[in-house]
Structure formats: structure tokens, C-alpha cells
Structure 1
Amino acid sequence: MTDTFPSLTELAAQEEELQLRSFTNDDAWTLGSALVARARAARLPVAIEVSRHSHQLFHAALTGATPDNDTWIARKAATVHRFGHSSLYVGQRSREAGTTFEEQFGLDPERYVAHGGGFPVLVRDVGPVGVVVVSGLPQVEDHAMVVTALRELLVQQLR
């Protein structure tokens, strides 16, 4: 199956939209738990991590997830931290420039990967404060799962 990638414009719009009012340990638990509930309902073999300032606040590995998923999580999170954008955004920026992430940046592939599923936790008027990552599905699906959960958390905060 070939991934259909959202445009860089769409990905940038998501990052603008999905800026939270605040981000506490309880918010990390709510976000992670929502991702687990969604994954369990669909029987998805994913691992999930939510962190703030590199402090792991939530981690889960559902049935079918493997230790490799944790390695992917670390690599996606490192990419988000380094570039300040979702890991899918970083990869799409290279694709739209007619190259690959690996060719464009030459970073250690054991540490960085520009595959979807890593998203910055953004607080409005503050900036990035953490990362949420899903690993185990095709990269666009990992990304979409995170976006959906962040939208739900944002709606809860705005009530």
C-alpha cells in the first residue's frame, strides 16, 4: 500500500490548529489514555508515548506492538525535538523539495526518522513543550491517530 501524504500546507495548518491552552501531567494521561482506547477499540498493534520536556509521562504498548516500536518512537520524537514540527511534516518538507530526509540532512538514521506519528505538544503563546508519538501503523495512519486525539483534548480544554 502506498501512503498518500498530506501537503506541507495541511500539516502546517494542523500544527497551528492543535495548540493547547496548557499541558499538565493529567493532560498527558488523558491524551495517552484516549489513544489507547482508540487503539484497543480497533485492535491496533501500536505503542504510544507522551512526554513533556523529554520526561516520559505516558507509555503503553498494546498487543502486537514490539520493541521495535519503541525504537521508532525514540527516533520520531528526536526528529520532532530537533525540527520543532511533526515527523510527517519534516518528511513531507523533504519530499516537496524533491529529495529525502536522509539525503537532505544526513543525520544518523539510528537516531532520527521522518516518518509520521510524532507530533509536537504545542501550548499557545508558549510553543513546543513535549511530544506525542504513535508507532505501529503505516506512517500516515500513525499521524492521523495523534491528530485526532489532540483535537479531542483541545475541545475538552476549550469547554
Structure 2
Amino acid sequence: MGRTGVAIDVTRHDVDSDVAHAELGGFTVSGAPVASVRSAMMGVMNDDAQTAITQVTEQEAELVLTTFTHDDAWRLGSRLTELAIERDLPVTVDIRKGTQQVFHAARPGTTPDNDSWVERKVRVVYRFGASSYLVGLKARAEGADFNATHDLSLQEYAAHGGAFPVRVAGVGIVGVVTVSGLAQQDDHALVVEALRELVAAQGPSSDRG
């Protein structure tokens, strides 16, 4: 069931006639063309994507720091690592301050491939000025292939959740904090959780929405 209240049931699919049984908004429509079912499913997906886009946009407006020193980066990275240990999460944690890598830790279960994911997601944040999750959500909501649309190599850019811009009030983006190893929404959520704690510890900022 999507947020629009549209439910899709494709369990009765007549492959010979290329029709399906669709249930839309509680009303059953038999013999609906598969194309119509797919269109309805895309509507649900787009609705969910728009909701997620709104939520992530609000997170980016909320999570603005008053300062971001090397010690702040250490605190943030240490907290992320602590959460990963407590929950036994196989993640790599990475923090950049400008172009400098100021924190990096890898938990059991990760591989060098996670480092590649980190690099690719970080590049998206620095190029587009938004979290890698938000950039990817917007592309999917538009039905676009992110890499093809922007003519960017898959080996260098990944609009996949987990990299979040570090913003400082009155300055803008000064770094990136990244998690790799979980489903993209979970990578993103872990970063948001730890960053929110750091924001709260620093106190209010006039730049927060």
C-alpha cells in the first residue's frame, strides 16, 4: 500500500493476454493492462520518493553545525563507530573536512569495496551540494538514470544513500560524513542519527530551518 492509498496486486497475471488483476484504491479492476498496473506502481513509487525527498531536505536544513573542527570530526566519527559496534553493523565510516580525510574506520564484514562506495558517494555530495541519498531520490522520482543524465562514470559517482554534507552556519558545506555497508536508507539514517546528536550538543544555530 503506497501513501496514495493505491494497492497493486499482480498475483493473478495472465501472461498470454498480457493483462493483470489490479486493485486501485480499494476498487478491483479485472483485466487491467500490465502497462496500466506498472503506471500505477510508478505513481506509488514516485509518491513515496517525494515524501522521502521532503524528509531528507528537512534533515539537511536542520542539521547545521556551529563549528566543525578536527575534534568535532573525531567525536562524530567515534560516535558513528560506537553505534556500529553496539548494533554489530558491518559498516565503514568516513569523514572529510574539505579535501582532507580526518576520520576513517572499518568494521568486520566490510571490504575494500566499501571504500570505493565511500569515494563515489562523497564525490556526489561535493559536486551537487546535497546528500547522496537526496540526489539519488530526485533522479529516481524523475525516472532518470543519474549517471547517464549527468554523463558521470559509475566507477566515480554513486547517487546512493550514505554520504551527508557537513554544513556550518554562515559558511556552508565544509565536509562530508559517510557510512557504507547497509541498505542505502540505513546508511543515511545512521549518519543522520549521529549528526543530530552532535548538532544538539553544539547548541542552536540561526541557520537551521
Structure 1 window deviating more from structure 2 (31-40 vs 94-103): it is 94-103
Q: How does 1:80-159 map onto structure 2 within 5 Å?
A: 80-158=125-203
Work out which of the residue numbers 91, 109, 116 in structure 2 matches 1:64.
Answer: 109
The letter for the 2-side match of 1:14 is Q
Q: Secondary structure at the match of 2:130?
A: coil
Distance, in Å, in 1 between the alignment partners of 2:52 and 2:191 is 17
- Share of identical aligned residues, percent? 49
Query: Which structure has the larger Rg over C-alpha atoms?
Result: 2
Let me know the Cα RMSD of the aligned residues.
1.5
Q: Is this contact kept in 1: 2:123–2:157, CA < 8 A?
A: yes
In the alignment, what sits opposite 1:17? 62
CA distance in 2, matches of 1:9, 1:125: 23
- 1:112 CA displacement: 0.3
Distance 1:131 1:54 in 2: 9
Q: Is the 8 A contact 1:91 1:115 kept in 2?
A: yes
**1: CA distance, partners of 2:65 / 2:149:** 31
5+ unaligned residues in a row in structure 1: which ranges? none
Structure 1: how far apart are the matches of 2:81 and 2:189? Answer: 14
Q: Give the TM-score normalised by the residue count of structure 2.
A: 0.72
Q: How many residues align?
A: 157
Counterpart residue number, 2:88: 43
* Distance in 1 (alpha carbons) for counterparts of 2:112 and 2:58: 32
1:28 maps to which of 67, 73, 78: 73
Q: Write the deviation string for residues 61-91 of structure 1: whole angstroms up to 9, x where unpaired.
A: 0111110000000000011010010000000
- Cα pair 1:121 1:130 within 8 Å, conserved: yes
Give the structure, 1 or 2, with the largest relative contact order (CA under 8 Å, sep 6 or more). 1
